[in-house]
């Protein structure tokens, strides 16, 4: 699986959009980009995934660059409950390789 690089931490004001970047420059053609988050010791929660097109669901939007070497997870209106570690994972349908993730702190 391709390796991902994420900033270790980010802050976001409540109500603003949180944009979490991820680099995956070695991604191959059949690998999906998945985003999960983990709220303090709870089970990782699936957010969204995509292959090459941008995706949106009720939780977030995923923007994947045309060359697929990077992506951005967008939480459109962050709330305090969005404070968590966010993991960007590139995978081909097997085990998830959790990297270090981004610790997002949403502040009042």
Partner 1 sequence: AAGVIQSPRHLIKEKRETATLKCYPIPRHDTVYWYQQGPGQDPQFLISFYEKMQSDKGSIPDRFSAQQFSDYHSELNMSSLELGDSALYFCASSSRAGGETQYFGPGTRLLVL
Stretch that binds partner 1, among 8-16, 61-69, 73-81, 99-107 (CB under 8 A): 99-107
Report the relative pairing of strands 45-50 and 32-38 from DSSP bridges. antiparallel
DSSP per-residue codes, 51-102:
SSS-EE-SS-EEEE-TTSSEEEEEETT--GGG-EEEEEEEESSS-------E
**Residue 17 CB, nearest approach to partner 1 (Å):** 24
Q: What are phi and psi of 82, to 5 degrees?
A: -85, 0
* String of contacts with partner 1 for each residue 6-45, x by CB under 8 A: ----------------------------x-x-x--xxxxx
In the complex, minimum distance from the CB of residue 80 to partner 1, in angstroms, rounded to a whole number: 21
Q: Does 95 bind partner 1 (CB under 8 A)?
A: yes
Which position among 53, 58, 81, 94 is part of the footprint of partner 1 (CB under 8 A)? Answer: 94
Confirm if 16 and 108 have CB atoms less than 8 A apart: no
Compute the radius of gyration of the chain from its Cα atoms.
13
Binding residues for partner 1 (CB under 8 A): 34, 36, 38, 41-46, 49, 87, 93-101
């Amino acid at each position: 699986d391709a390796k991902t690089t994420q900033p270790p931490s980010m802050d976001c004001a409540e109500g603003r959009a949180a944009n979490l970047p991820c680099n995956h420059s070695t991604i191959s053609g059949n690998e999906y980009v998945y985003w999960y988050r983990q709220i303090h010791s709870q089970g990782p929660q699936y957010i969204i995934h995509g292959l090459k097109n941008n995706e949106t669901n009720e939780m977030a939007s995923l923007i994947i660059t045309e060359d697929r070497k990077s992506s951005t997870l967008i939480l459109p209106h962050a709330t305090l409950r969005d404070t968590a570690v966010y993991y960007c994972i590139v995978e081909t349908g097997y085990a998830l390789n959790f990297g270090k993730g981004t610790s997002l702190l949403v502040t009042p």
